[in-house]
Amino acid sequence: MNSPPAPKITPSPNIWRWPDLYELENRAQDSTGALWEALRGHCDWAGRDVVDIGCGDGFHLEVFGASARSVVGVEPHPPLARRARERVAGRAGVDVRQAPAQRLPLADAGADLVHARTAYFFGPGCEPGLAEAERVLRPGGTLAIIDLDAACPPYGDWMRADAPHYDPVAVESFFQRRGFDSVGVRSEWRFDARAELEAVLGIEFSPKVARRAARQVTGCAFEVGYRLRVRRRPVGLLRSR
């Protein structure tokens, strides 16, 4: 029997090429904690089992690992998976697997929260990953997808300038048709130095748009909008005996 073809993995244009610079970006993102607060409000992972899809070099694993019962980070890019393992080495209950979102190396119904942040789940085309996330969730478990809000200025304006084909309304409709509740969350990216801010803009956008963004930002911080999309796996109906 022939094995199914390997899932297509689209390289991440920022963290794959500049992991050290992306670390600065991760530290700058959500400086207000608004995203973590919103996520916890939908699914408090304390004492529960968490899967982080597209975990990169493991930045968010440490946050989940502080209170979750278990955390598994899944990352398709071998160098990032190695960095993630090094980051969480020695932390009880935290593991990293190298795999794509379309083929999670996890058992059925073993997670209370499946989390993905600005990774893979960008709208049409991510259906195989959605099916896998549903498979590994327990009944009553939560799938939480966090993405940048391309309709929210100023960051969303810069996104659409570089990707004019991206339609945030169509993407929102895609997730709504699949049963997700969606809420906007505003947070702030705050850097320690102006040079860090400009360097991060340089890996997120084309040179022209990065220069435009830098001109529009004064100081070392700017507001960024996100969409938090949440769907719970149905518990099912109890059968009477």
Q: What is the pLDDT of residues 34-80, one digit of tens each?
A: 999 999 999 999 999 999 999 999 999 999 999 999 999 999 999 99
The 10s digit of each residue's pLDDT in 166-192 is 999 999 999 999 999 999 999 999 999
CA distances from 151 to 35, 84, 154, 167, 222 (A): 17, 32, 9, 9, 16
Q: What is the pTM of this model?
A: 0.93
Q: Is the pLDDT of residue 238 over 50?
A: no
Average pLDDT, the chain: 94
- Tell me the one-letter amino acid at 160: R
The 10s digit of each residue's pLDDT in 127-167 is 999 999 999 999 999 999 999 999 999 999 999 999 999 99
Q: Is the pLDDT of residue 240 over 80?
A: no
Report the percentage of the chain scoring pLDDT > 90: 90
Q: Is the pLDDT of residue 7 over 90?
A: no
The residues, ordered by sequence, that sit 6+ positions from 228 with a Cβ below 8 Å of its Cβ are 35, 38, 39, 42, 144, 145, 146, 182, 183, 184, 185
- 194-207 average pLDDT score: 98
Strands 111-117 and 49-53, bridge-based pairing: parallel
User: What pLDDT band is residue 3 in, cutting at 50, 70 and 90?
Assistant: low
Residue among 227, 200, 236, 235 at smallest CA distance from 38: 227
- Tell me the one-letter amino acid at 35: L
- 111-133 average pLDDT score: 96
Task: Report the half-sphere exposure of 4 (CA within 13 A, side-chain side).
Answer: 4
Q: What per-residue confidence (pLDDT) applies to 40?
A: 97
Q: What per-residue confidence (pLDDT) applies to 11?
A: 77
Of 11-15, 173-177, 184-188, 236-240, the range with the lowest mean pLDDT is: 236-240
